[in-house]
Amino acid sequence: MVYFSSDYMVGAHPEVLEHLVATNQQHTPGYGADHFTAQAEQLILQACQLTGTDTTTRGKVYFLEGGTQTNLIVIDRLLDRNDGVISAETAHINVHEAGAIEACGHKVLALPSNDGKLTADQVDRYLTEFYNDETHEHMVRPAMVYITFPTELGTLYTRQQLSELSRVCNRWQIPLYIDGARLAYGLASPANDLTLPDIAALSDLFYIGGTKCGALFGEALVTRRPELLPRFFSLMKLRGGVLAKGRLLGVQFKALFENNLYQRIGQHAIQMAMMLKQGVVERGYTLYMDSPTNQQFVILPNEKIQTLRPEVSFELWGPPGEHETPVRFVTDWSTTPDAVRTLLDLLSDPPSAGLRLAGNRGQ
Amino acid sequence: MVYFSSDYMVGAHPEVLEHLVATNQQHTPGYGADHFTAQAEQLILQACQLTGTDTTTRGKVYFLEGGTQTNLIVIDRLLDRNDGVISAETAHINVHEAGAIEACGHKVLALPSNDGKLTADQVDRYLTEFYNDETHEHMVRPAMVYITFPTELGTLYTRQQLSELSRVCNRWQIPLYIDGARLAYGLASPANDLTLPDIAALSDLFYIGGTKCGALFGEALVTRRPELLPRFFSLMKLRGGVLAKGRLLGVQFKALFENNLYQRIGQHAIQMAMMLKQGVVERGYTLYMDSPTNQQFVILPNEKIQTLRPEVSFELWGPPGEHETPVRFVTDWSTTPDAVRTLLDLLSDPPSAGLRLAGNRGQ
Amino acid sequence: MVYFSSDYMVGAHPEVLEHLVATNQQHTPGYGADHFTAQAEQLILQACQLTGTDTTTRGKVYFLEGGTQTNLIVIDRLLDRNDGVISAETAHINVHEAGAIEACGHKVLALPSNDGKLTADQVDRYLTEFYNDETHEHMVRPAMVYITFPTELGTLYTRQQLSELSRVCNRWQIPLYIDGARLAYGLASPANDLTLPDIAALSDLFYIGGTKCGALFGEALVTRRPELLPRFFSLMKLRGGVLAKGRLLGVQFKALFENNLYQRIGQHAIQMAMMLKQGVVERGYTLYMDSPTNQQFVILPNEKIQTLRPEVSFELWGPPGEHETPVRFVTDWSTTPDAVRTLLDLLSDPPSAGLRLAGNRGQ
Amino acid sequence: MVYFSSDYMVGAHPEVLEHLVATNQQHTPGYGADHFTAQAEQLILQACQLTGTDTTTRGKVYFLEGGTQTNLIVIDRLLDRNDGVISAETAHINVHEAGAIEACGHKVLALPSNDGKLTADQVDRYLTEFYNDETHEHMVRPAMVYITFPTELGTLYTRQQLSELSRVCNRWQIPLYIDGARLAYGLASPANDLTLPDIAALSDLFYIGGTKCGALFGEALVTRRPELLPRFFSLMKLRGGVLAKGRLLGVQFKALFENNLYQRIGQHAIQMAMMLKQGVVERGYTLYMDSPTNQQFVILPNEKIQTLRPEVSFELWGPPGEHETPVRFVTDWSTTPDAVRTLLDLLSDPPSAGLRLAGNRGQ
């Protein structure tokens, strides 16, 4: 069996686990007031070039347990009572968080998107129309922008695109927040022209995903504008997002940001993903989405899907089509070249032309 | 000056006001436990044919203060924690209630619509896809349907359309709720083939709009399924929707449902609206929306809009176009034939052909 | 039958109703953007001496529909995410609003009170202890103070007491909010040494009760610090607290603040209440609470309660005792001297000594 | 340095960590759909005697990340819109969860308690009075009972006390929920006469604390009435309480419930606590609270507190007194007899009589 279902099927990268084991018996204060957490924050701020000595240059890091939790607490903190958050229709907060944002009282203002991305123009137009509408006091005020990097569809913003989005948010004075659940894979992608300091500078806040990028669990929320998060610990506590043994997050992120581990994890997964992508294309399959990151979306004949099932774990991407269906293959630190080769071998038996044509008509 | 801005520019219909004056000095218990309220409920249940003697045939009425308040309390009552409400994108709850539904913790699941209506098919497809999605436990469950009758664009569901929608909701076992803020005008429209008992039978709950249909304020929520609203008084109280002098609502709705007043109010406004509509069409104007109810949407040259301003009150419908802009004219019980004639006279100076063509290019 | 159940058993004071009738057919913009509302605001600001021409001296008035609604919207506006509101245990928001404050996400921090009042010391001590507690980031931050004037038990703060409370709130920089549901009766009480301008100056915000003081319904929220209520209209809308025909509130409060009507209503009800109080004391009954306002609390033998029932409407104040039970008699603008005399005559048959003694033993 | 600050100062018990390491590279489905989680559930149900084969005898287990998170999700699930939860004033949910319950919209109905416990009588009286109150529809309905075992003060309910409380809840048909953050220490206490199956049978739901009892983090919610938690996964997701690598909780609880580890952890900590308690009493110190569990509360002269500081980690229990202050010493699986002896040696220098007397006067 080879595994491509997701990037959260195994435990932590061995170096992360090693740190947890090595520090297990040390006594520290609870709730994140420990030295591991302080060190992890320092390492992350260095990596983000947010280590200035005054409040205008020094960032702040908060550690949380998972992506949905991070999103709901951040958004709840940034929005006032009748504010909403602009996102793409495909955004995780709009689709796959079970209504977490609304449960905090806020509307997700979802804009159409084909590739999982928002454009600066789109956001600018939305805000312009809102404030031009004479009845806007009866409407939900758009008060922040949420994007994902990479997106749910594996795509990436270019530096140009992110800069423009950042400029629009700046002009309207609303924060831009980046969900970096799979940030490692975005940064390591050959298609990427953004650095971690770029991300830190062009967003108001963003989180560095741990759960899907080599940690057991945990996300690191980073902001260059700590004033946006007043009394944040209390809000984390209120939403059930504070670990008594807060150091668990500190220890893991310390491991991830020492010796370039976060970077190495990203690079390895991307190598595997590119090998996989090249292989499926060479074998004549159509990509459902041309993703430059660790999620690869391929259209497979339904028959082929059946033959893969006993030997490969993967997920369908959407409801089954009549003849063919998009599927997703995901790589991570634990993916081996052998596993990719096994998958490609299983795909080598080429999809029949007849089926493909029928399938294309069905789309 | 003649007035077509909205149906809430004057006080109550004189017969409603008379009842308030006549009963002013009577002593009654508070919070709706008075005999006026009981009588109003009885009159409404009769009008809806929900006066059976057992729980399967006897309906229930609750009186609330306004439309947004009614919507938010009803929806908050019907939905469980991570449930959402299906509506048209143009729905009042999705656009013009400042996020009231989300503030109660629920997502509005907005579906596209050109005419303000949802179709049975559209709802059925949405529910089918939801339950077919393997990740639906991570998503907001669609658990009720909200429609407006007439819609925000003045349009009406036919008996056929409403029956189909009702059947779909029934099959999926989710309640269908109708916002009848302007119900009087829907029922009185020549295009309408639904009666009040039809509305009561085909929905699970609906409200009879008072504020926009002749009352000072107030809406009557009617349901043939009282079991859907357990402990509803407490929830109304919790949301600030209980009047100490609850009888104010009872007295007004008693007035509206005695001597066919609600019907007469609807009929008069519709007569005025049809006279207005016929007049603008005869004068060569284009309708923005072919509305059979008391809101009439007409495209006017911007120049004409300027000349009307000092003598007619009305609203733009959307942002101004380059050459012409849709406007809304609304009638109600207080609209006189003279006022309509005044408006039509002012419109008689025909829009210049040149402008119209230019305008059309601009759309 | 004579009526002492509450101050919301009849409609509006005739002068208020007259204004509603007189203005009924005028056309005005909706949602409170009318000239009646503007005039009412101006009259109230004058009465409160908040009519300065710059932002430091000029107050702001918002009109809402009822007390619970006003309380929940104000408190929701003033509090941040994990903030709570300090109140007396007996406070309306803590007992009789069905959890409205908690439904907005906020804890009521209830302090013990025998007479319905908070003391400055008590509040100061609570805040001191909170900030001295090393774990206070895990606790709900006390961020405003809510008091009632008169209290739920009919009692009043003296100028001295209110000044001290105001000073404490000021020192801790948290707003002091006064619920004035029965303000007219507090101001008109012979025991009162505070004026309306005093109330306006010593609180950060307060509301002038209309519902229980002569209006059909409605409360006027007044603040000398408008900056405390950013985007308040949207929040009112979001909570279902905006009337389409907003002028109804304007018209009523204009009537109440022209020709001293609000004052006259208070004075009349207090005269009746004092006549009633003196009468019951003269007849040998024990006061449950020595109230200087329009609610009078008297301990009656249960037998006497039974004999009153067919001829007087009134409420028990708490669960029935074995032999005697406190009851409440309330006066308002509609109470006549004749009604008070009727009640006193019915009470003239003195409570039997035996019963009283037994009752006292039971207490 | 010796450590008695809390039971969350170190990582996991070595046997728990071993399991995490041993399973780290296995591939499993996400979100708790793995076999470790299934095995952990089975082991816990066996330990609770809830392994019947039909729905009336078979329990259900959900794994969550921390105590506050578990409490807020459970309480949010059990309560309807205007319901509240009865707890002791000292309860964690009332004091130390930053308003988490209120943030979900629910009032904590806090009853007075000296020892951290509620009595059956107290709860019964509260419910009786609530339903006898004629205005109870205006009030928050008490709809569940929350207790802690052991309590925040280290005390325990006897089987008799818990049975009576259970009976009262049963009679009123409201669920009884037990927060077992430190359950291991309650079960292992020499003063305890309750078994895990007793706890499972006498409560409607309870959670087995992992975080403070040997896990890295995690709590196991157990119920013999799964019907109380419909669509619970979605609610967990909505509140940010679902781990992508859900198996982390399964693996840990599997370790805790194999080979009696949970029991052994409790027993060891209790032995250390009893040794500590006996030692401080023998040395003439006064207990602030006679706790039979792993938290020991001792009154120390302030001078002694200062001398301990450099060598012992511990917490003050409340604000410093003038001469003496209660402190808390906590034991866990990592506490050694040597550490206890070191502490006792440091305490051997007896508190001066003069100081003690002065201190007593100060209390």
For residue D130, is pLDDT > 60?
yes
CA distance B138 to chain D (A): 6
Cβ distance of C240 and B8 shorter than 8 Å: no
User: Which of B1, B20, B100 faces C240 most closely, judged by CB atoms?
Assistant: B100
- With CA atoms as reference, the chain A residue closest to C104 would be A105
What confidence category does residue D350 fall into, taking pLDDT thresholds of 50, 70 and 90?
low
User: Which of B100, B216, B234 faces C248 most closely, judged by CB atoms?
Assistant: B216
Spell out the per-residue pLDDT of chain A, length 363, in tens. Answer: 999 999 999 999 999 999 999 999 999 999 999 999 999 999 999 999 999 887 777 999 999 999 999 999 999 999 999 999 999 999 999 999 999 999 999 999 999 999 999 999 999 999 999 999 989 999 999 999 999 999 999 999 999 999 999 999 999 999 999 999 999 999 999 999 999 999 999 999 999 999 999 999 999 999 999 999 999 999 999 999 999 999 999 999 999 999 999 999 999 999 999 999 999 999 999 999 999 999 999 999 999 999 999 999 999 998 889 999 999 999 999 999 999 999 999 999 755 444 444 333 333
**Sheet strand arrangement including C83-88:** C60-64, C219-223, C205-209, C176-180, C141-148, C83-88, C107-111
Q: CB of B107 within 8 Å of any CB in chain D? A: no
What's the CA angle centered on C207, arms C201 and C209, to 5 degrees? 130
Interface of B with A in 38-57 (CB under 8 A): none
**Mean pLDDT rounded to a whole number for chain D:** 95
What's the CA angle centered on C50, arms C45 and C51, to 5 degrees? 75
Distance of CA C71 to the CA centre of its chain: 11
| Separation of first and last alpha carbons in chain C | 30
Helix or strand run (H / E) with residue C132:
helix C120-132
C-alpha dihedral over B90, B94, B95, B100, to 10 degrees?
160
Residues of B in contact with C20 (CB under 8 A): 11, 17, 20, 216
Residues of D in contact with C5 (CB under 8 A): none
Cβ contacts of residue C260 below 8 Å, gap of 6+?
A: none
For D135-175, what is each residue's pLDDT tens digit?
999 999 999 999 999 999 999 999 999 999 999 999 999 99
| Cα–Cα distance measured from residue A100 to residue A182, given in angstroms and rounded to the nearest whole number | 20
Distance of CA D175 to the CA centre of its chain: 18
The string of DSSP letters for A183-197 reads HHHHHT-TT----HH
Question: Looking at B206-220, C294-308, D52-66, D238-252, which range is the least confident one?
Answer: D52-66
What pLDDT does B53 receive? 80
Cβ atoms of C253 and C77 closer than 8 Å = no
Helix orientation angle between C159-172 and C120-132, rounded to the nearest 10 degrees: 20
| Cα–Cα distance measured from residue B4 to residue A363, given in angstroms and rounded to the nearest whole number | 49
* Beta strand pairing call for C219-223 and C60-64: antiparallel
User: Which of D81, D230, D235 faces B76 most closely, judged by CB atoms?
Assistant: D81
Give me the mean pLDDT over the C130-142 stretch: 95
- With CA atoms as reference, the chain C residue closest to D80 would be C103
Q: CB of A278 within 8 Å of any CB in chain C? A: no
| Cα–Cα distance measured from residue B190 to residue B297, given in angstroms and rounded to the nearest whole number | 17
What pLDDT does D362 receive? 31
Tell me the CB-side half-sphere exposure of residue C182, using CA atoms within 13 A: 28
pTM (2 decimals)? 0.95
And the tokens for A195? 């650095």
Helix (H), strand (E), coil (C) string for C323-345: CEEEEEEECCCCCCHHHHHHHHH
For B157-173, what is each residue's pLDDT tens digit?
999 999 999 999 999 99
What pLDDT does A52 receive? 85
| Cα–Cα distance measured from residue C182 to residue C107, given in angstroms and rounded to the nearest whole number | 25
User: Which of B83, B132, B138 faces A96 most closely, judged by CB atoms?
Assistant: B138
Interface of B with C in 76-105 (CB under 8 A): 97-100, 103
- With CA atoms as reference, the chain C residue closest to A105 would be C104
Cβ atoms of D322 and D351 closer than 8 Å = no
Cβ atoms of B278 and B287 closer than 8 Å = no
SS3 content of chain A, % helix, strand, coil (to 5): 45, 20, 40
B105 dihedral zone (left: phi>0; alpha: psi -120 to 50; beta)? left
| Cα–Cα distance measured from residue D92 to residue D95, given in angstroms and rounded to the nearest whole number | 5
Q: CB of D357 within 8 Å of any CB in chain A? A: no
Cβ atoms of B258 and B23 closer than 8 Å = no
User: Burial of B271 by CB count in 10 Å (0-12 exposed, 13-18 middle, 19+ buried)?
Assistant: middle
| Cα–Cα distance measured from residue A136 to residue A129, given in angstroms and rounded to the nearest whole number | 9
Q: CB of B33 within 8 Å of any CB in chain C? A: no
| Cα–Cα distance measured from residue C178 to residue C112, given in angstroms and rounded to the nearest whole number | 18
Task: Tell which of D73, D79, D82, D141 to mutate to test the B interface (max B CBs under 10 Å).
Answer: D82
Judged by DSSP in three states, B351 sits in coil
Q: What is the DSSP letter of D136?
A: G
Q: Can you say whether the dihedral through the CA atoms of C227, C231, C235, C237 is positive or negative?
A: positive
Using alpha carbons, list the distances in angstroms from residue A228 to A59, A204, A284: 11, 9, 50
Distance of CA C226 to the CA centre of its chain: 22
Give me the mean pLDDT over the C159-176 stretch: 98
What confidence category does residue C343 fall into, taking pLDDT thresholds of 50, 70 and 90?
very high
What confidence category does residue D57 fall into, taking pLDDT thresholds of 50, 70 and 90?
confident
Q: Which chains touch C (3 or more CB pairs under 8 A)?
A: A, B, D
Q: Can you say whether the dihedral through the CA atoms of D54, D55, D57, D58 is positive or negative?
A: positive
User: Which of D76, D137, D138 faces B81 most closely, judged by CB atoms?
Assistant: D76
A140 dihedral zone (left: phi>0; alpha: psi -120 to 50; beta)? beta
What pLDDT does C350 receive? 56
Residues of D in contact with B241 (CB under 8 A): none
Using alpha carbons, list the distances in angstroms from residue B307 to A277, B311, C3, C214: 65, 8, 58, 45
- With CA atoms as reference, the chain D residue closest to C135 would be D96
And the tokens for C309? 């029932």
Beta-bridge partner residues of B87: B110
SS3 content of chain D, % helix, strand, coil (to 5): 45, 20, 40
- Comparison of pLDDT for A20 and C363, the residue scoring more: A20
Residues of D in contact with B141 (CB under 8 A): 231, 234
For C44-91, what is each residue's pLDDT tens digit?
999 999 998 877 789 999 999 999 999 999 999 999 999 999 999 999
Residue carrying the six token digits 């080598």: A348
| φ/ψ (deg, to 5) at D222 | -125, 135
Beta-bridge partner residues of A61: A222
User: Which of A8, A17, A21 faces D244 most closely, judged by CB atoms?
Assistant: A8
What pLDDT does B350 receive? 57
Question: Looking at A209-213, B50-54, B130-134, C238-242, which range is the least confident one?
Answer: B50-54
For C20-34, what is each residue's pLDDT tens digit?
999 999 999 999 999
Residues of B in contact with D77 (CB under 8 A): 81
Cβ distance of B139 and A96 shorter than 8 Å: yes
C173 dihedral zone (left: phi>0; alpha: psi -120 to 50; beta)? left
Q: CB of B29 within 8 Å of any CB in chain A? A: no
What pLDDT does A349 receive? 72
Question: Looking at A108-112, D130-134, D267-271, which range is the least confident one?
Answer: D130-134
What pLDDT does C358 receive? 37
Cβ atoms of A138 and C246 closer than 8 Å = no
Cβ distance of B80 and D237 shorter than 8 Å: no
Q: CB of A37 within 8 Å of any CB in chain D? A: no
Helix or strand run (H / E) with residue B206:
strand B205-209
Task: Tell which of A89, A107, A134 to mutate to test the B interface (max B CBs under 10 Å).
Answer: A107
Cβ distance of C234 and A137 shorter than 8 Å: yes
Q: Which amino acid is at D195?
A: T
**Mean pLDDT rounded to a whole number for chain B:** 95
Distance of CA B245 to the CA centre of its chain: 25
Number of other residues whose CB lies within 10 A of the CB of residue C52: 12
Beta-bridge partner residues of D277: none
Nearest CA to B274 out of B191, B346, B348, B334 is that of B191
Judged by DSSP in three states, D323 sits in coil
Task: Tell which of D133, D234, D236 to mutate to test the B interface (max B CBs under 10 Å).
Answer: D234
For residue D36, is pLDDT > 90?
yes
Q: Can you say whether the dihedral through the CA atoms of B340, B342, B346, B351 is positive or negative?
A: positive
Nearest CA to A175 out of A85, A47, A310, A268 is that of A85
What's the CA angle centered on A278, arms A277 and A279, to 5 degrees? 90
Residues of A in contact with D238 (CB under 8 A): 97-100, 103
The string of DSSP letters for C233-300 reads HHHHHHTT---TTTHHHHHHHHHHHSTTHHHHHHHHHHHHHHHHHHHHHHTTPEEEE---SSEEEEEE
And the tokens for C318? 């708490």
CA distance D327 to chain C (A): 13
CA distance B97 to chain A (A): 6
Using alpha carbons, list the distances in angstroms from residue C279 to C275, C276, C330, D92: 6, 5, 14, 51
Residue carrying the six token digits 């909010």: C177
Exposure string for A178-191, b = 16+ CB within 10 A, e = fewer: bbbbbbbbbbbbee
